[in-house]
A = this chain, B = another copy of it.
């Protein structure tokens, strides 16, 4: 076994605190890398607080992981010690179902294995990236370009792919009007990708204070949704809305901003069921759709695209000892736009 240390929640009601644990030995197809940076995702907090489903404790969160390879199994072909490497939300999947076979591991019909708060095929709980080292099958390890700022790459592994994937799937680009709902970790990546793909991007936000940033990120327009006149101006305006909000919100209103045949794509996960009036989708042949992260081939494609187009996340680098404070600020939306833990502080 390989000794590891990290920050864990011992149960849903305590704060994260230092914890020592073990990773598996590096198998013939495994890659071990030392974690240099790990992004802080809102879902980390949802899961350590048991807000989605009963979690596996102790829990070491973190699924936006980048670092440097230190050891590889003797059958590993993609990596050698010293290479940069990354892991996102998945560390395994069944690899045999119809979805895995076409690179849609995120929709594995037998249940993919999450990077943390899951059990591997060996029955052992998985532990995430708030830690110093990780061992993962090479098929689930991604390559990253040294051209990009390494800490700013970390959030691409979840916030990046979660917004890149639906924009690609629905072929959002030139000629489309895209609304990005919520300007947080996911939203700011959605703006960058939407602009890069050629869409006209409007940020929809309840915080007028975010207009300056939205424009700086490349957004063409900014709409304060609580301003009646501004809201009226974008009725029936959008081909797509990418919805990154994970708090309850008014679907009747947002669906009214779509054109005929428009699609509202959810990537945030509000805790309660969405209230969707039938008239809101039937009148205008609209769709409410959802999308979850991305598969391995598409995540690699996204990372390569980012390297080519010089796209990274806007981050605030933190000391792991400040993680609880960071969570408090994240809940208030007080982060522009992603906290990333400098693992040298562990």
Contacts and interface: CB of A to CB of B under 8 A. Distances in A.
A109 interface: yes
Nearest to A260: B107
A281 B260 contact: no
Interface string A106-130: 0101000000000000000000000
Contacts of A291: 282, 285
Interface string A275-287: 1111111111111
Given A276-B288, A287-B288, A289-B286, A281 B263 contact: no
A281 B274 CA distance: 11
A292 B263 CA distance: 16
Interface stretch (A29-37, A60-68, A265-273, A309-317): A265-273
A144 interface: no
- Residue with the highest number of chain B CB atoms closer than 10 Å, among A98, A275, A282, A286: A282
A28 interface: no
A281 B285 contact: no
A235 to B, nearest CB: 10
A287 B285 contact: no
Contacts of A10: none
Contacts of A270: 278
A274 B166 CA distance: 23
Interface residues of A, number: 37
Given A287-B288, A287-B289, A292-B282, A277 B273 contact: yes
Contacts of A266: 278, 281-282
Nearest to A277: B273
Contacts of A289: 281, 285-288
Interface in A213-271: 236, 251-252, 260, 263, 266-270
B290 A285 contact: yes
A156 interface: no
A98 B237 CA distance: 12
A169 B284 CA distance: 13
Contacts of A285: 107, 166, 169, 289-292
A287 B284 contact: no
A107 B279 CA distance: 12
A104 interface: yes
A275 B275 contact: yes
Interface string A305-334: 000000000000000000000000000000
Given A107-B260, A260-B107, A283-B290, A276 B278 contact: no
B263 A287 contact: yes
Contacts of A278: 266, 268-270, 273-274, 290
A11 interface: no
Closest 6 CB pairs of A and B: A281-B290, A282-B290, A273-B275, A287-B289, A287-B287, A269-B278
Given A282-B290, A285-B291, A287-B289, 10 more contacts: A98-B260, A107-B283, A269-B279, A269-B282, A274-B276, A275-B276, A282-B292, A283-B292, A285-B290, A285-B292
